[in-house]
Amino acid sequence: MKVLGIESSCDETAVAVYDAERGLLSHALHSQVKLHAEYGGVVPELASRDHVRYLLPLANQALVKAGVDKSELGGIAYTSGPGLVGALMVGASAGRALAFTLNIPAVAVHHMEGHLLAPMLEHPAPAFPFIALLVSGGHTLLAEVRGVGQYQILGESLDDAAGEAFDKTAKLLGLGYPGGPVLAKLAELGRSGTYQFPRPMIDRPGLEFSFSGLKTFTLTSFQAALQKGGDEQQIKADIALAFEEAVVDTLMIKCRRALQQTGINRLVVAGGVGANRRLRQVLKDMTARQGGEVFYPRIEFCTDNAAMIAYVGCLRLMAGETEPLAIHVRARWPMTQLATLNP
CA distance 300 to 131: 21
Which residues, in sequence order, are bridge partners of residue 7?
Answer: 14
3-state secondary structure 108-144: EEEHHHHHHHHHHHCCCCCCCCEEEEEECCCCEEEEE
Q: How many residues lie near Zn ion (CB under 5 A)? A: 2
- Interface with Zn ion in residues 118-147 (CB under 5 A): 136
Report the DSSP beta bridge partners of residue 13.
30
Min dist. Cβ of residue 117 to ligand KG4 (A): 13
Would you say 72 or 156 has its CB closer to ligand KG4?
156
From the CB of 282, what's the least distance to ligand KG4, in Å?
A: 12
244 binds Zn ion (CB under 5 A): no
In the window 267-286, what residues touch ligand KG4 (CB under 6 A)?
A: 271-273, 275-276
What burial class does residue 15 get, using C-beta atoms within 10 Å of its C-beta: 0-12 exposed, 13-18 middle, 19+ buried? buried
Helix locations, the chain, DSSP H: 33-37, 44-66, 85-102, 111-117, 162-172, 179-187, 212-228, 232-262, 277-289, 307-318
The rounded distance, in Å, linking the Cα atoms of 93 and 95 is: 5
Closest CA to 118 of 340, 17, 268: 268
Binds ligand KG4 by CB under 6 A, chosen from 18, 78, 166, 195: 166
Looking at the Cβ atoms of 98 and 247, the one nearer to ligand KG4 is 247
Cβ(40)–Cβ(177) below 8 Å? yes
181 binds ligand KG4 (CB under 6 A): yes
Q: Which residue is nearest to ligand KG4 (CB)?
A: 272
Q: Is residue 241 involved in binding ligand KG4 (CB under 6 A)?
A: no
**12-19 vs 130-135, strand pairing mode:** unpaired
- Closest CB to ligand KG4 among 18 and 166? 166
Q: What does the alpha-carbon distance between residue 12 and residue 83 come to, in Å, rounded to a whole number?
A: 12
276 binds, among Zn ion, ligand KG4, none (CB under 5 to 8 A by kind): ligand KG4
Query: Is 79 or 221 the residue whose CB approaches ligand KG4 more closely?
Result: 79
Which of 7, 164, 245, 304 is close enough to bind Zn ion by CB under 5 A? 304
Site string for ligand KG4, 120-139 (x = CB under 6 A): ----------------xxx-
Which 17-36 positions form the footprint of Zn ion (CB under 5 A)?
A: none
Residue 275 binds which one of Zn ion, ligand KG4, none, with CB within 5 to 8 A depending on kind?
ligand KG4
Q: Report, in Å, the least distance between residue 247 CB and Zn ion.
A: 18
Report the interface residues with ligand KG4, using CB under 6 A. Answer: 10, 115, 136-138, 163-164, 166-167, 178-181, 184, 271-273, 275-276, 303-304
